[in-house]
């Protein structure tokens, strides 16, 4: 991880202004090399929201194997929550704990998938995009619900997708990741195009609607036996 981007002790108005500035630093073209490890990230909360619980699962990408993805490392970090829930400022609430979890990893992934938004955010800086700037790694946001934007109806076949738009801008894709199941919302975070983001999400799909990296991170983040993992 490079030098810190900013301080976390910000008032909401300062955080909103900072999002607008940081969004200008995002790279929307592909800058990704060979991928050997993919990390999945999800954030949970304990004690009524007073404790933030960040889960990171690292999987080895083995395209020539019958098991394309195999878990090689997982980390959970827990710390006091730094900011209350404020719509649009989720990354300021979640990323500090995520960064501490990444600091515990012994394997550096080449690609990071985040349970949350990438640029499909009112100020184009969702948690996946913001985290990508901090880590200086290619990141993708995979969200279960829409935060902003409009889209047409999505076909019902696995792999069907429709653009997610805001005005004249395409900010993501609404992907049918499993037949007869609600779609997921995919948006690039940092150092990736939408097309490449979609390609990687589809490659990492298993039997559920979520790609395996974020599915496993979600499962780890939702556990209640975290003390032995910290």
| Cα(138)–Cα(199) distance, integer angstroms | 14
Determine the 3-state secondary structure of 144 from DSSP.
Answer: coil
DSSP 205: B
| Cα(93)–Cα(172) distance, integer angstroms | 23
> Which residues are CB-neighbours of 208 under 8 A, at least 6 positions away?
178, 215
Is residue 214 within 8 A of residue 41, CB to CB? The reply is: yes
| Cα(31)–Cα(193) distance, integer angstroms | 9
Nearest to 78 by CA among 43, 119, 109: 43
DSSP string, 34-96: --SEEEEEEEEEEGGGTEEEEEEEEEEE-TTSSS-EEEEEEEEEEEE--S---TT-HHHHHHH
The sheet with strand 161-166 has its strands ordered as: 69-80, 51-61, 37-46, 111-115, 139-143, 184-190, 169-175, 161-166
Annotated binding-site residue? 42: yes
Annotated binding-site residue numbers? 42, 115
Annotated binding-site residue numbers for Mg(2+)? 42, 115
């Amino acid at each position: 991880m490079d030098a810190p981007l900013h301080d976390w002790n910000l008032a909401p108005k300062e955080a909103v202004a900072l999002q607008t500035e940081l969004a200008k630093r995002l790279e929307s073209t592909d800058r990704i090399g060979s991928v050997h490890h993919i990390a999945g990230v999800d954030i949970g909360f304990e004690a009524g929201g007073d404790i933030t619980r960040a889960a990171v699962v690292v999987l080895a990408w083995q395209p020539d194997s019958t098991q394309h993805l195999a878990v090689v490392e997982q980390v959970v970090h827990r710390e006091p929550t730094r900011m209350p829930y404020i719509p649009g400022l989720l990354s300021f609430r979640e990323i500090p704990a995520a960064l501490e979890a990444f600091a515990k990893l012994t394997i550096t992934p080449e690609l990071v998938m985040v349970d949350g938004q990438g640029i499909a955010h009112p100020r184009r800086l969702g948690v996946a995009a913001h985290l990508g700037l901090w880590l200086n790694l290619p990141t993708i946001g995979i969200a279960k619900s829409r935060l902003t934007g409009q889209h047409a109806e999505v076909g019902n076949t696995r792999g069907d997708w429709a653009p997610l738009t805001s005005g004249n801008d395409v900010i993501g894709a609404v992907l049918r990741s499993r037949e007869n199941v609600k779609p997921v919302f995919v948006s690039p975070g940092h150092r990736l195009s939408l097309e490449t983001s979609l390609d990687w999400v589809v490659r990492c799909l298993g039997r559920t609607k979520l790609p395996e990296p974020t599915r496993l991170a979600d499962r780890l983040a939702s556990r209640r036996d975290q003390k032995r993992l910290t």
